Amino acid sequence: MAQFDGKTYDCPFDCFIAVLKGKWRTDLLLALAARPRHFRELQRILPGISAKVLTENLRILERNNLVERREQDDPSGMVEYRLSPEGEQLIQVMEQINHWVGRWLA
């Protein structure tokens, strides 16, 4: 059995789908795959996402150890988000699936 965000899944693939479920989650993960980013930067590169939805998705991903939140040690108090090692592994799986789909559709 697998767990994500407090729910238990009998099928690991169903859990994988739950991780990616939602309008913004894959875009958010891919944005963080490029490099760590600040909240406002994520808002700029994901046009149309509200601050509330972005915060909710970041919290879900952080709570499930896919994203890490780091506060800057300077007076600005800015927060940086980056993929955790588990999040980086997820990106590799997503890239493999994208590659498979590209071959399948060709």
**What's 13-42 look like in SS3?**
HHHHHHHHCCCCHHHHHHHHHHCCEEHHHH
Q: How confident is the model at residue 1 (pLDDT cuts 50, 70, 90)?
A: confident
Tell me, what's the pLDDT at 86? 97
Q: Tell me the Ramachandran region of residue 9: left when phi exceeds 0, alpha when psi lies from -120 to 50, beta otherwise.
A: beta
Query: pTM here?
Result: 0.87
3-class state of residue 87 by DSSP: helix
Taking only the tens place, the pLDDT of each residue in 10-67 is 999 999 999 988 889 999 999 999 999 999 999 999 999 999 999 999 999 999 999 9
Q: How far apart are CA 89 and CA 19, in angstroms?
A: 13
Could you give the residue ranges of the DSSP H alpha helices within the chain?
12-20, 25-34, 39-45, 51-63, 85-105
Q: How far apart are CA 63 and CA 70, in angstroms?
A: 14
- CB distance 66 to 84 below 8 Å: yes
Taking only the tens place, the pLDDT of each residue in 75-87 is 777 899 999 999 9
Q: How confident is the model at residue 69 (pLDDT cuts 50, 70, 90)?
A: very high
